[in-house]
Amino acid sequence: MSARVARAGRAVLGVAVTAGGWEAACRAGLVPAAYLPPPTVVVGQVARLLATPSFRADAVSTGLSWAIAVGGATMIGVALGLLMGAVPVLRALLAPVVEVLRPLPSVALIPLAVVVLGSGSQIKITVAMFAATWPVLINTVHAVHAIDPLQVDTARIYRVPRHRVLLRLTLPAIAPAVATGIRLSASIAVIVVVGTEFLAGGTIGLGQFAYLQGATVGRMDLVLATVLLVAVANYAVDTALLGLQRRTMPWAEPQEAR
């Protein structure tokens, strides 16, 4: 507990020092307030945005798209990872494909997604799902491959049914790695969903709101307030997932994803 309190204290101190330096630089005129408003102004706009119905609708759209993308990426990554980890021939066939597709920048797929899917929420969901699948998939494959062969052979010798091996051995063994992959995917999905909203347009969401406020109106205070809300929400989700991982998987210390 003391270690957690110390980490929390260092985090708060870091935020306070950063915000204080930012505020001081703005008040001293070192940076134009039109481009980089002081944090006190930005934080003041947060409450105003949360009270605006249209902004809440944008936030709900982004949140739902994020949840669908993470859920889809988790299902695809775990299912395909189990197959690749358990079937060497399939792993040998698909590993080169994964290594080619995994480094592709997701934003480069936006024009293709627009052509294929048209405008709407399906664009940001699909692109974010593509980007968020890889951490779960890679972690699952490595976790399955790292299961003790002696345990697998013992289950085979005693003719344990495959579904029981999956439920009692495989899934508990890979759960910590999969959970870490989901945490990484959740953060990636936030970035890609908001970025796709910003670049693709044609849909509501926090990214489109930030684009309209920044490019059309020039309200950088509202843009930074939106960015701050997204960052806080992402941190809260990651903290909640880490806490859930610690509570439900006491046999394995969660790996840090940040």
Q: What is the DSSP string of 196-225?
A: HHHHH-SS-SHHHHHHIIIIII--HHHHHH
pLDDT of residue 129: 95
What's the whole-number mean pLDDT along residues 132-155? Answer: 89
57-72: pLDDT as tens digits = 999 999 999 999 999 9
192-210: pLDDT as tens digits = 999 898 888 667 889 999 8
User: Confidence band (pLDDT; 50, 70, 90) for 253?
Assistant: low
For residue 2, pLDDT over 80 is answered with no
pLDDT of residue 257: 46
Phi, psi of 19, deg, nearest 5: -65, -40
Name which of 130-139, 159-168, 237-246 the model is least confident about: 159-168
19-39: pLDDT as tens digits = 888 888 888 888 887 788 888
Write down the domain spans for the chain: 41-248
User: How many other CB atoms are there within 10 angstroms of residue 163's CB atom?
Assistant: 8
What's the whole-number mean pLDDT along residues 112-122? Answer: 80
DSSP state of 106: G
Q: Which fold has domain 41-248?
A: MetI-like fold (1.10.3720)
pLDDT of residue 254: 53
What's the whole-number mean pLDDT along residues 102-123? Answer: 82
Range with the largest mean pLDDT of 29-33, 58-62, 99-103, 248-252? 58-62
pLDDT of residue 4: 72
* Average pLDDT in the chain: 87
Higher pLDDT, 6 or 185: 185
For residue 173, pLDDT over 60 is answered with yes
Give the DSSP H or E segment for 195.
Answer: helix 171-200
Higher pLDDT, 214 or 129: 129
The tokens for 210 are 């930030």
pLDDT of residue 258: 43
| Whole-number percent of the chain with pLDDT over 70 | 94
pTM: 0.87
Name which of 54-58, 163-167, 189-193 the model is least confident about: 163-167
User: Residue 129: exposed, middle, or buried by beta-carbon count in 10 A (0-12, 13-18, 19+)?
Assistant: buried
Alpha carbon distance 171, 163 (integer Å) = 11
How far lies 103's CA from each of 11, 107, 113, 130, 143, in Å?
31, 12, 17, 11, 21
pLDDT of residue 169: 86
